Amino acid sequence: MYKVFVNEKPLFLTNQVQKETNFRIYLLETVNFRKVISELFLNKIDSAYLYHPDEKLIMKTLKSKLPVAKAGGGLVYNQKGEVLFIFRNGKWDLPKGGIEKNEEIEDTAIREVEEETGVTGLIITDKLQKTYHIFKRNGRYKLKITYWYKMKTNFTGIPQPQEDEGIEKVAWLKPEEIPLALENSYENIKLLFEEVLV
């Protein structure tokens, strides 16, 4: 199952038929993508399921309907086991950003973490799940796919927020501080921590 967030509301792409309770289920063959996305975006519905026996076909169809923006980001640990967070738009987030032409996605992730936080000496230790969300820019919906990597660093300096990207602060959070930060974060970021904390 894929989870695509639209204005923090989940759109599930699934090959499992669930007993309907408080969500809407749509068939891939007959769905009006724009209408479903718009209803989620405007908070008219809380969640929706797109069904087809082939999950990958649902994602492929979604990618064909919306322009795709690729990004790379990092879940970065220092030598003390703290995690690197940024604070932007009133929420805790992880550093990430868009891919540049002819750039490998792993290089994007490292470059964006360095640019947004000033933290260097990054080494990718693991590949994490991709996250998906739909956003609106210039009146058009786009699908953002973020490739996440677990990283480590021996950086001991003071992180510097990239202010021209709207980042207000950068902080190393201790493991016990992370649950509170996640209460004021994005659903996609919470998904990543579900993966690394199991």
The per-residue pLDDT for range 33-75, each reduced to its tens digit, is 889 999 999 989 888 999 999 989 999 999 999 999 999 999 9
Domains contained in the chain, CATH given: 2-65 (no CATH), 70-197 (3.90.79.10)
Could you tell me which residues come within 8 angstroms of residue 146 by beta carbon, excluding any fewer than 6 positions away? 70, 71, 72, 73, 96, 130, 131, 132, 133, 188
pTM: 0.91
Residues 50/58, Cβ–Cβ less than 8 Å: yes
pLDDT reported for residue 21: 61
